[in-house]
Amino acid sequence: MPEPLTHEPESTLHSEALARLLEEVRVLLETTAAPAIFFAEFLQRVVSAMQVAGGAIWTRGAEGSFDLEHTINWPALRLEGVPDGIACHTQLLQVASQRERALWVPPQSGSKLVGDGGHAANRSDHGLLLAPVIVEKQIVGLLEIWLHPIPEGRHRRDLARLLTELTGFLAAFFHKRMCQSLVHQQQVWLQLDTFVRQVHSSLDPKVVAQWIAQEGRRLLECDQVSVALRWGQKTRVEAVSGAAVVEPNSRLVQCMRSLGDAVLQWGETLIYQGKRDETLPPTVVSALDGYLSESNCKMLVVWPLKKPQAGSEGGTAFAALTAESFEPAFSAEQLHQRLQAIAPHASRALANAVETARMPLRWVSHALAQVRDWANTRTVTRLGLYALPLVVLIAFLTLVPMTLRLEGKGQLVPAQRQMVYAAQNGKIIELRARPGDRVEKGQELLFIEDLDTQLQIDQLAIKVGAAEQRLSLLSEQLGKKTSSEERSALVKERIQQQYELRKATVERDILLQTSRSPRKAPVFAPLAGKVVTFDAHEQLLGKTVKPGDPLLRIAGVTGTWEIELLIPERNVGPIRAGLFASEAGFVEVDLLLASQPHRTYKGRLYKNGLGGETKVLDNAVVLPARIRIVDEELIQQGDNLPVGLEVRSKVHCGPRSIGAVWFHELWEFLYEHVIF
């Protein structure tokens, strides 16, 4: 039967070996040794200091069973040679784990218990001393030593007490491991949380793939992570950790793409750790061999990411997550477990990004979604109150028609008007017609004194008279009897004098055709009308003129009147468009006389009334046009209206929307200075 040790007063067990043991164990506990090394060093020191036959350290698993961490001289128990030795010892460990104090089990002791749990017994020839390792009131392990049988007494109790104290160091080590594990687990969770937030922070597949590759490499603690996406029937490597840009023409990237495509078609996880699995599909084997020929990796895991679907483990594989290690410090199974932690998050983030990227008109949908999220009852009501006047205004500006009327300036003039020009050189000596006088056609307007012409006429008259006298004398000489030579000379001279006579006569007649009396040559009115030149007496009397100089302006005020309009260049286009759109061949014109600003008259602009050539007036380009007056009231006033009266006009260019009429100048300015 197992015998528990009763608690008795502490005995004196002081020795240098014990002090050295406790100091060595304390120093060992402060080191950062791995669990296997710590257990081996700890047990070696305990066995040596206590001078026992052997020992073992057991740790309790999640299911309550115990795992052997380290042992010294285990064969000395010879449990394998006993049919139920191992089972009895296992049950003995369970009995010891139910106590908080050390348990002494004599050799070849124990009682067989009937049941599923078996029996607890010591089938070896050594006595067993087991002490529980307690952390946070939980037994997490056992420290066991075996020694030669010793009688009940103080020495055995001292060993049990010492073993219990040594389990305190093991408990401290387990507590330290638990703290380190919690810290590491917290770091992993923080890294995983950061990874999840980053991969879900974008809906761009390239950005998400970059985050998965870069952050996944840090989480997985491997050398390289790559992400391949399937677009339709083609697979493309989107991201490789440590590479800012993926070169698709690279041989390594092409082999990586082929491997990802093969795994996606297969649909299962590919694990490679130095040895190829012969059960793999031929396409996967071929792609793996091609990639290994280009890469130096010694461990490789390719995980197919499947689209998440409600009610199922996953849909179609659409992406491949590849993790590689060139000098692996852990097994492929550990890498597979780490991939299993991040794969669901990577799969969902990539699936969302890919679905968004494939969505047609996603920018429009995004804008509509924002409007939907923003809109609510109060917002819609407020928006309606604000938008209704704006909509009404826009409809009013767009749908209500209005005639486009473009302005122009001109002057009121008779249709028949003519400028009188000087026909000869001379000085004006008399004006018969005054400004505003009515004149008839052919009436004398003024007189020009041309003394030079008069002098020429007088000289030619003298020359004609002299020639006639000489001819008369020559005729008398030819009537006398003369020699043939003299007669020939006289005939020749007579011919010359006849030529000079005719020449002088013709020149005199030409000069007389211009004016019969150059000393007072009249200038006649070319048409019946009114003299409209202002202050002609002051400007013309005594003035020396030459042919072509303007003298007076005569206007037929009793006839038809018209408007001589100057259209600005920017208004020519709409006016022409209105003319050609008019079926009648003309457009209406509103006329406002400067002398009658309270009354508007009507006129018409015909197609042939537009000028064909522009001119510059006051630094502005204008096109002349003639407006025909059709207002009878204005026509009847023509006899009393001043010639050249300023007229402001508005040309009707046809119907437009009221917004186009009001803001056409603004639109022209924006188009000319911003759009063009």
- Which secondary-structure segment (H or E) carries 301? strand 299-306
pLDDT (0 to 100) of residue 207: 92
**Are the CB atoms for 148 and 53 separated by under 8 Å?**
yes
What's the token pair of residue 194? Answer: 């950061």
Average pLDDT score over residue span 618-647: 84
Domain residue extents for the chain: 3-182, 200-359, 417-553, 559-675
- CA dist 444 and 428 (Å) reads 13
pLDDT of residue 206: 92
CATH superfamily of 559-675: Efflux pump adaptor protein, beta barrel domain (2.40.30.170)
**328: helix, coil or strand?**
coil
Token readout for 308 is 């998440």
- Reported confidence tier of residue 320, pLDDT bands at 50, 70, 90: very high
Cβ-Cβ contacts under 8 Å for 652 (sequence gap 6 or more): 403, 404, 405, 578, 587, 588, 589, 590
pLDDT band at 302 (very low <50, low <70, confident <90, very high): very high
358-371 burial, b for 16+ CB within 10 Å, e for fewer?
Answer: eeeeeeeeeeeeee
Question: Which of these CATH numbers, 3.90.1150.10, 2.60.120.920, 3.40.50.970, 3.30.450.40, describes 3-182?
Answer: 3.30.450.40
Exposed / middle / buried, residue 158 (Cβ in 10 Å: 0-12, 13-18, 19+): middle
* Ramachandran angles phi, psi of 343, nearest 5°: -60, -45
Q: Would you say residue 514 has pLDDT above 70? A: no
Per the CB < 8 A criterion, the answer to whether 221 and 187 are in contact is no
pLDDT in tens, 57-110: 998 887 888 888 899 988 888 888 888 888 888 888 888 888 888 888 888 876
pLDDT of amino acid 303:
92
Separation of alpha carbons 576 and 674, rounded Å: 25
CA dist 576 and 1 (Å) reads: 125
Q: Give per-residue burial for 20-47: e unless 16+ CB within 10 Å, then b.
A: ebbebbeebbeeeeeeeebbbbbbebbb
Q: Which residues contact 665 (CB under 8 A, 6 or more apart)?
A: none
pLDDT the model gives residue 454: 66
Residue 4 has pLDDT above 50, yes or no: no
Look at residue 11 in the predicted model and tell me its pLDDT: 38
Closest CA to 321 of 200, 247, 211: 211
Q: What is the DSSP string of 646-659?
A: EEEEEEEEEEEEHH
Contacts of 505 (CB under 8 A, 6+ apart): 460, 464
Q: Looking at domain 417-553, which CATH architecture does it have?
A: Beta Barrel (2.40)
Q: What is the pLDDT of residue 6?
A: 36
As a whole number of angstroms, the distance between CA 492 and CA 330 comes to 145
The mean pLDDT of the chain is 82
Q: Residue 10: which pLDDT band, with cuts at 50, 70 and 90?
A: very low
In 3D, which of 654, 666, 494 has the Cα closest to residue 586? 654
For the 200-359 domain, the top CATH level (class) is alpha beta
Check residues 32 and 328 and name the one with the higher pLDDT.
328
**Average pLDDT estimate for 133-146:** 87
pLDDT at site 2? 43
Backbone angles phi, psi at 596, to 5 degrees: -135, 70
- 239-272 pLDDT, tens digit per residue, is 999 888 899 899 999 999 999 999 999 989 999 9
334: left (phi over 0), alpha (psi -120 to 50) or beta: alpha
Whether the per-residue pLDDT at 117 is higher than 60: the answer is: no
Predicted local distance difference test score (pLDDT) of residue 491: 78
Residue with tokens 């767009």: 398
- Residue 265's H or E segment, with its range, is helix 251-266
Q: Which range, of 13-17, 279-283, 523-527, averages the lowest pLDDT? A: 13-17
Question: CB under 8 Å to 232, separation ≥6 — which residues?
Answer: none
- Do 3-182 and 200-359 share a fold? yes
Task: With beta carbons less than 8 A apart as the criterion, state whether 291 and 313 touch.
Answer: no
Per-residue pLDDT band for 671 (boundaries 50, 70, 90) equals: confident
